[in-house]
Structure 1
Amino acid sequence: MTSWRDSTPEHVQAQFDGLFGLGLDAALDMLAKRKEFYPFGIEARGGEAVMVGSEPGLGDDPESQAVLDLLYEGGRRRSADMDAVAYVCDVRLREPDSDAVRIDLEHRDGHALQIVTPYRIKRFGRGVESGQMSVSSGVRRIWG
């Protein structure tokens, strides 16, 4: 079985690895502290990673898809200044029946991945346990 790394340049792999690590760490930290989080983005700009949230105006309890749509729109507006981007959201899986962190990665060179990592919030506020991640082709939303 071939890996996405077999067909992906090393500089793209390095950016995806960095964005994925930052995104998963931030998501798991928010889950441990608040048991939930709103979608957010991380943009790679000139060697730096910048976390972005949605723009105001969605109300107190916005739908996750509405937040993602605003993040995608903002990413398209800033695409000339970015090399890569990660969008991180909380999803519910059917198989296995689990909550998961989904991270959609996209690079200006045309590569896109989706990484889904199941998680379980431990009882009595003892943190979050993550499961086996799965990687698949992603959707190009910014440089598509």
Structure 2
Amino acid sequence: MAGVSWRDSVPEESANDLETLLGSGIGTAREHLEQHGGFLPFALTVLNDGEVRLLMVAPDTSDAVDSTTPTAETASEAEFDADAMLNDLTELLRQNREECRAAALVCDITLPEEGSDAIHVAAEHKDGSVFAALLPYRPRPGSQWEFGDLTADTNKAVVWVG
């Protein structure tokens, strides 16, 4: 059916919450990219009263860098397990889901077929509505970033399950 958007298939409040999370997630990730050259996974929630909150977890870098043998690579790039951080964030969201009406996980992914990375935002509402999008990006000379087009992606609920 041409002309029907995902927005038409979900309640208005849910669509507004998911769009808020998408916009906030993309904006926060872009800001971190532009200021710090990267970003760690994070989560956003829309509380039951409508307030938007940012949630972060600290990366476990205990096994990532051997401090007894510093090299240029380990000194400049701290390693971390993004999947473990996303699992921790998902668990935190599940534990606190009664206080929220919507949540999103935001992470950096690689798009090998595009030759770029992307900001990925996977949002869900307590009513079962889901929406995800990605924004490809690549570095440009002079510490600048080139961003591609925002596109929809697939998503499944991970917070309001079972």
Give the structure-2-normalised TM-score.
Answer: 0.82
**Does 2:61 match 1:59?**
yes
**Does 2:29 match 1:24?**
no
Q: In the alignment, which residue of structure 2 is the partner of 1:114?
A: 132
Deviations 1:50-103 (Å, cap 9, x if unpaired)?
Answer: 10001x472364211000000000000000000101111000012322110000
Q: Using the alignment, how far apart are the partners of 2:104 and 2:94 within structure 1? A: 13
**Does 2:14 match 1:12?**
yes
Q: Using the alignment, how far apart are the partners of 1:57 and 1:71 within structure 2? A: 11
Between the aligned residues of both structures, percent identity stands at: 30
Q: In the alignment, which residue of structure 2 is the partner of 1:47?
A: 50
The answer on whether the counterparts of 2:59 and 2:80 sit within 8 Å (CA) in structure 1 is no
Give the structure-1-normalised TM-score.
Answer: 0.91
Correspondent of 1:102 among 108, 120, 123 = 120
Deviations 1:13-69 (Å, cap 9, x if unpaired)?
Answer: 111111111111110111111111110001110210110001x47236421100000
Q: Using the alignment, how far apart are the partners of 2:119 and 2:146 within structure 1? A: 12
Q: Which runs of 4+ in 1 moved over 6 A?
A: none
Q: Using the alignment, how far apart are the partners of 2:104 and 2:146 within structure 1? A: 22
Q: 1:142 aligns to what SS in structure 2? A: coil
**Aligned ranges for residues 68-107 of structure 1 at < 5 Å?**
68-107=86-125
Q: How many residues align?
A: 142
The answer on whether the counterparts of 2:60 and 2:80 sit within 8 Å (CA) in structure 1 is yes
The residue type paired with residue 130 of structure 1 is F
Question: Which structure has the greater CA radius of gyration?
Answer: 2
Q: Which runs of 5+ in 1 are unaligned?
A: none
